[in-house]
Homo-oligomer: A and B are copies of this chain.
Amino acid sequence: MKKIKVGVVGATGYTGEELLRILVRHPHIEVTYVSGKEDRAEKIQDVFPYLQGKLDLECNAFSVDEVIKKTDLVFLSLPHTISMDVVPQLLKAGKKVIDVSADYRLQDEKAYEKFYKVSHKDLQNLKHAVYGIPELNRAKIKSAKLIANPGCYPTGSILGLVPGLKAGVFAVDTIQIDAKSGVTGAGRKADKGLQFSEVNESVKAYKLFEHQHVPEIDQALTSVAGKEVSVVFVPHLVPINRGILSTIYVKLTPTGASGLKKKLDTEGLLAIYKKFYTNEPFVKVYDAGRLPEVKYVTNTNLCHIGLKVNEEKGLAVIVTAIDNLGKGAAGQAVQNMNILCGFDETEGL
């Protein structure tokens, strides 16, 4: 099989780095282009010295012409609002694009404008972008030209809620998501608030109700539930490098409303989840009595899910764990590439 030529734009950020880490192990592709933020050229194997012997490429400032010339498929790991300047040219040149920024995730341009403080400039392609959660949209991903790779928080939240919402057993109006994220989620950057000694030995909540991932979660859940879902989402920063633990609080619908004959207990809800994810290679639902821990998904493309029903109070708590750079970004992007290119979906992961 001829190898597909792949470019990573924004290769020096955390997601870009993780993409390279995965892609150099992938048997069916060749990384033929990388670009970073810096003006001066540098060998990518000098930026990330563990890549030596696995990749030998110059990393320059981004050039659309270059990436078009050198690749078949492009991972865009650019800052939000910049991807949409580039995507039209790439698509026009016949490239497949997996955009890990937020630019093509929200079908509602108004929501985009509200949360990203800028008007969308590429409504044309936005319409055809496929939201890249394979567990929901595998068929569409297969034939997509432009994949909007989901955000890290949305991935952990959506995967934790979809089976119950599809089954109609969750009240849609009281979903509360308490998410704890590692620091790579904030990107690689000089920021006083992200300095080691500011983050270490502390925990904080931030952007209450206002995080830009909220509309993304709502959009996906609304589509699944068939009625409007609007979650309460509270992200937290915890002193770990990688990983998100999402603790999700949902009210259960009354037995009648959910079409169930008897009250849902932990085993009952787990059965719904296990059935939904039965063939998914990257989602594991824990048996009753055990809950996910971030360490078991670090450096993987896995999403682990555990849950418990409180029958007395008529609610459930669902806990999901992902690696924000794995299933929450680069891992899922490669999974999407595998589907798009007809490779084994787990190749390289």
A residues whose Cβ falls under 8 Å from a Cβ of B = 14, 48-50, 52-53, 174, 176, 178, 180, 182-184, 188-192, 194-206, 208-209, 230, 232, 234, 236, 238-243, 245, 247, 249, 281, 284, 286, 291-300, 302, 304, 308, 310, 313, 315, 317, 319, 321
Complex CA–CA separation, A321 to B321 (angstroms): 24
B317–A232 CB distance below 8 A: yes
Complex CA–CA separation, A136 to B241 (angstroms): 36
Which residues of B sit under 8 angstroms from A308, Cβ to Cβ? 208-209
A190–B201 CB distance below 8 A: no
A203–B180 CB distance below 8 A: yes
Extra contacts besides A50-B296, A238-B239 (12): CB < 8 Å = A180-B203, A183-B197, A188-B198, A190-B195, A201-B240, A202-B294, A203-B294, A204-B291, A232-B249, A232-B313, A239-B240, A249-B249
Q: Which 10 A-B pairs have the closest CB atoms?
A: A202-B295, A204-B293, A178-B178, A196-B199, A183-B196, A190-B190, A203-B245, A190-B192, A202-B294, A183-B197
A208 and B291 contact, Cβ closer than 8 Å, known pairs A230-B313, A304-B49: yes
- List, sorted by A's number, 15 A–B pairs whose CB atoms are closer than 8 Å: A49-B296, A50-B297, A53-B284, A178-B247, A188-B197, A188-B198, A197-B241, A200-B200, A201-B241, A201-B298, A202-B243, A204-B245, A204-B294, A205-B247, A208-B291
